Amino acid sequence: MNSLSPLDDYPVHQTAEPIRRVATSDRNFYDRYYFNCYPADTADVFLIVGMGQYPNLGVADGFAVLRRGDDHLVVRASKALGTDRTDTTVGPLRVEVLEGLRRLRVVLEPGHPETTDLSFDLTFDGVVPATEETPQRLRRLERVVMDTSRFVQTGRWSGTLTVDGRTRQVDPGTWLGNRDRSWGVRPVGEPEPPGRTAHEGTPGFFWIYSVMQFDDDTIVTIVQEDDHGRRLVEEAIRIRPGAGPEWLGRPEHRLVFAPGTRNVTGATLTFHRPGCETVTVECELLVPNLLGIGTGYGLEQDWRHGMWQGELVVQALRRDVREIDPALLMFCPTDHLARFRIAGSDTVGTGLFEVAVIGPHRQYGFTGFADTYPARDNDRATSDPVGNQDR
């Protein structure tokens, strides 16, 4: 079998193998794009796009998910990964790198049966440098289950977005967002036999990933904790054009939950750097995009990232969020379009607040996977089951 591809003509090899053969035989190796896009002035829609390749599974897939009011619109596609890793097209969805680390184009072609409700042609222009984040490396028993690298970048969008036949001009003066690129090893595809890990029990998953875009800079925060609040990954940096990242200190969090659920409706983040004043950011959550519903992040048994679907399969889904099973939301990571205010200043920004509180977590009183947050008199929380706000 000829394993060569066009990338082998470039001096970019990292091993003695052709580029198509990654350095590990782990089935869970992946290489992924993530984008989000929103109008900062109206904050009435929140679009998320992802695309991944899984060389050891022979699969490429992608999705677009839009939240607008109570509508949850998804277009997803999967195909057999071909010989050319530079082919970042999956059905009607494609990503084009126009200028590395600077400009990218993301397209969901109209004219397909599955893109009747949603299509777009969008170009991302970075406004801060693409910046490496802290690598994520975790083991379970002795096996490496997470070993990933990622970089992040905020920017502005231009182009068009069409929803239900109505096209909106995407003006870079008001349409913002962030993107990331990640690659490495994390669980993908069909579930593997649990083996001894079934006896060890399922660990919880506590995760905050926030990308705050202000006029002059960007703040990136990552917190991953175990059931007891012990840190597995943390990051808190400020990114400015023309400068290296600035460490802000240890990030701490206070989440507000809707009573009787695990839906996060508000948050406060604080940054503690020795010898400096504590920086506090109030996070107002505006539009919750249910990242785990229909996109491949593991909630549906028939569609997971890297799962073999066939030579090419394209599907469209539309859900009313009020009709989604509340029990499913207990396991659903949510990407919130958020507004951020730095306490003691007039600094206000917008961006991503991604959160998942799955399983036990001592700080918030969760002891298992099924318990919800109790109602208390001093909770600043809404009873809206998915945190939607009327606009």
Average of per-residue pLDDT values in the chain: 94
Q: Give percent above pLDDT 70 in the chain.
A: 95
Q: Is 105 helix (H, G, I), strand (E, B) or coil?
A: strand
Q: Would you say residue 375 has pLDDT above 70?
A: no
Distance of CA 382 to the CA centre of its chain: 24
If 0-12 CB within 10 Å is exposed, 13-18 middle and 19+ buried, where does residue 368 land? exposed
pLDDT at res. 383: 33
pLDDT at res. 2: 83
DSSP state of 52: E
Euclidean distance between CA atoms 279 and 263, whole angstroms: 25
Contact 115, 109 (CB under 8 A): yes
Would you list the DSSP string of 255-312? Answer: EEE-TTS--EEEEEEEEE-TTSPPEEEEEEEEEEEETTSSSSSSSSTT--TT----SE
Euclidean distance between CA atoms 108 and 305, whole angstroms: 18
Terminal CA-CA length for the chain: 57
pLDDT at res. 376: 54
Alpha helices in 70-203 (DSSP H): 196-200
Q: Which of 184-188, 354-358, 385-389 has the lowest mean pLDDT?
A: 385-389
Contact 226, 205 (CB under 8 A): no
Euclidean distance between CA atoms 231 and 248, whole angstroms: 17
pLDDT at res. 384: 38
Contact 46, 337 (CB under 8 A): yes
Q: Would you say residue 387 has pLDDT above 90?
A: no
Q: What is the pLDDT of residues 181-232, one digit of tens each?
A: 999 999 999 888 888 988 888 889 999 999 999 999 999 999 999 999 999 9
Q: Would you say residue 70 has pLDDT above 80?
A: yes
Q: Hey, which of 41-55, 199-213, 368-382 has the most confident mean pLDDT? A: 41-55
- In terms of pLDDT, which residue wins out, 198 or 61? 61
Euclidean distance between CA atoms 228 and 157, whole angstroms: 40
pLDDT at res. 386: 47
Q: Which residues contact 69 (CB under 8 A, 6 or more apart)?
A: 44, 388, 391
Euclidean distance between CA atoms 331 and 293, whole angstroms: 10
pLDDT at res. 391: 29
Contact 74, 294 (CB under 8 A): yes
Question: How many other CB atoms sit within 10 Å of the CB of residue 329?
Answer: 21
Q: What is the pLDDT of residues 132-156, one digit of tens each?
A: 999 999 999 899 999 999 999 999 9
Q: What is the pLDDT of residues 309-336, one digit of tens each?
A: 999 999 999 999 999 999 999 999 999 9
Q: Is 252 helix (H, G, I), strand (E, B) or coil?
A: strand
